[in-house]
Amino acid sequence: MQMATKPALFSFFYTILLIIPLLQSAANAATPSVRKSLIRSSNININEKYTFKYCNPLRKKPFDKKSSKKKLLVIGDSQACDFLNSIKENGFFRNYQISMRYIPYQCQPVLSNHPSHFIANKDRVICEDEERTDNLKQAKEQIEEANLIIFSARWKLKAAQALPHTIRHLKLKPYQRVVVLGSKSFGKISIRRYLNMSDRKLLSIKNEIDEEVEQVNSTLRTRLSRRIIFIDQYKLICGSTTDCPVFTGNLELISYDGRHFTKAGARFAGSKVFKNSGLSQM
């Protein structure tokens, strides 16, 4: 009997040794609801559709001159679409009619006698084709109609440096208010790595803020006049200008690609930006 039990005992302990790491791994992994949310956030196609779903119908949408609502014009690239999503998710600016002028990152929202100074050689064909690509000259008539103008873009440094000049040459009326949102970047997002982390660990993850983006924001912060409201999204969303959480307090991913919001991220970020920047008073 003793001879017969040794293999059985060996098999038993061997099985235990195999199971322990699996149990430890399961204990360290995100909970099922968080894992499901992370997997959904890993689908770039679905998330990219979300980024543009609300802003696309607003592109060049004429203001209704018969409406008593004030007019909000948002100008920028996919970062402006992010901002519009944060509006929608939180129900802000309900007393405004909203339109958008979409100017791709490659082209930048600038007015200059030398626009090629801000555009890479490879992008000139796209940016100079006014039938395909919007710009501030085309948007000038609608800009003159707006009560509130919000610029939101992934700013190139040269465009950020030139923005005060651009705004001056728009020749806005005294009653028109201008807001400029700083650029944002949430660092590298690694869904596969997050799936193997505990909920507690996920809450502690912070990515360093992009130094180039912070340089652009510093330029906007120091060069824009006091009449223009500059909003540092890093400071409001992240609570810091050095690093930023990857997840909300409810363990929802803020950005799916490091630059653009998830639906939960738009709701989370929009709430922080509006409550702490004065936008809610406009």
pLDDT for position 114: 76
Q: What's the pLDDT score for residue 78?
A: 97
What is the bridge-based pairing of β-strands 148-152 and 177-181?
parallel
pLDDT in tens, the chain (282 residues): 444 455 554 444 444 444 444 334 444 567 888 888 898 888 889 999 999 999 999 999 999 999 999 999 999 999 999 999 999 999 999 999 999 999 999 999 999 877 778 999 999 999 989 888 999 999 999 999 999 999 999 999 999 999 999 999 999 999 999 999 999 999 999 999 999 999 999 999 999 989 999 999 999 999 999 899 999 998 899 988 789 999 999 999 999 999 999 999 999 999 999 988 888 788
- What integer pLDDT is reported at residue 96 of this predicted model? 97
| CATH code of the domain occupying 32-281 | 3.40.50.1110
**pLDDT (0 to 100) of residue 8:** 52
**Residue 171: strand pairing partners:** none
* The pTM of the whole model exceeds 0.85: yes
CB atoms near residue 166 (< 10 Å): 16
Burial 43-62 (b: 16+ CB within 10 A, else e): eeeebeebbbebbeebeeee
Between β-strands 177-181 and 70-76, what pairing exists: parallel, antiparallel or unpaired?
unpaired
Neighbouring-strand partners of residue 181: 152, 231
Whole-angstrom distance, CA of residue 115 vs CA of residue 236:
32
